[in-house]
Amino acid sequence: MVFENLVKPWDAKRFPSKLFFFGIVFSLLAVAFSLWIFPEQVSLVMVFLVVLMTIPLMYFTLIEEEQQDFRTDKELWLLREHGKSIRFLMYLFLGLVVGFSLFYIFSPETLVNKVFSLQLKTIENINSNPVSGGVILSDLFLSVLTNNLKVLFFCLLFAIFFGAGAIFILAWNASVISAAVGTYVRNGLAKSAALFGFSSIAYHFNLFVAGLLRYMLHGIFEVGAYFIAGLAGGIISMAIVNKNVRLIKLKIVVKDSILLIAIAIILLVIGALVEVFITPLIF
């Protein structure tokens, strides 16, 4: 299998930025194959194809992270090693977002509505419940944090029961964020065309960067938390099915996973604070 041998966890840890370009290629290939083979179900099929392309890397990463738990009980060393995996997975996620966003921005509107139909409906459902002026920021913060904790729980659950399955939720989130970024850029271009009668490549680029920053400013904390939860759940899953794991080793895995989940929750709190209190001040 091509993607199975394309990149290994140890190579990804050494050159994490390479995963950014893999993410762009994976996303564009997923869209192309979905349009070719399943043109009526592109929105969901392209997410599944991304999952198929990334599961080998995720699977081998989980195996390696589980083995590291058995090599030592030094938490700082384990966290550094886990951090290397989270880093290249974040690059992969960002590459997926950029790839999907570029397709969204430069494709005809009819094609965009077809490819991102489910993602646009998801965004529409979110925006259909606007926050009223009477709602204080603390309530909004709790609402955002509660929703993000639900996603974290599903990532953990998927990872425990399906191993690398949490990558599905993350691939789906990448496609939804891309649709939001693409909509932001296209709306900005429409406004500039109405005001000035033209739109330049530089303006495309500036809007694209602004759109990414708008959603990734807080999203980087949230996505990082989801990857950490997926990693924790995946390590537990691998340890449970490993017949050679004794009770004492399983305790080490559980302890490490609990620490990872605690870190993920802290990141979600930071992300919610940034989303509610900082992002609106900038955008």
Residue in this structure with the two tokens 């909004």, named with its chain if needed = 140
pLDDT tens digits for 218-229? 999 999 999 999
Task: Report pTM.
Answer: 0.87
Read off the pLDDT of residues 141-157 as tens digits, 9 standing for 90 and up.
898 999 999 999 999 98
Distance CA 73, CA 123 (A): 43
What is the rounded CA–CA span in Å between residue 235 and residue 159?
8
- 163-200: burial string, b at 16+ Cβ within 10 Å, e else: bbbbbbbbbbbbbbbbbbbbbbbbebbeebeeeeeeee
Please give the average per-residue pLDDT across 68-78, as a whole number. 71
By three-state DSSP, how is residue 146 classified?
A: helix
The better pLDDT of the pair 211, 137 is held by 211
* DSSP, residue by residue, 173-205: HHHHHHHHHHHHHHHHHHHHHHHHS---HHHHH
Residue 102: how many other CB atoms lie within 10 Å: 18
3-state secondary structure 19-86: HHHHHHHHHHHHHHHHHHHCCCCHHHHHHHHHHHHHHHHHHHHHHHHHHHHHHCCCHHHHHHHHHHHH
Q: Where along the chain do its domains lie?
A: 8-123+134-282
Q: Residue 244 pLDDT more than 70?
A: no
The dihedrals phi and psi of 245, each to the nearest 5 degrees, come to -80, 120
Token readout for 267 is: 């990141």
Q: What is the pLDDT of residue 189?
A: 73
Phi, psi of 2 (to 5 degrees): -60, -55
Q: What is the mean pLDDT of the chain?
A: 83
pLDDT in tens, 168-194: 888 999 999 999 998 888 887 766 655
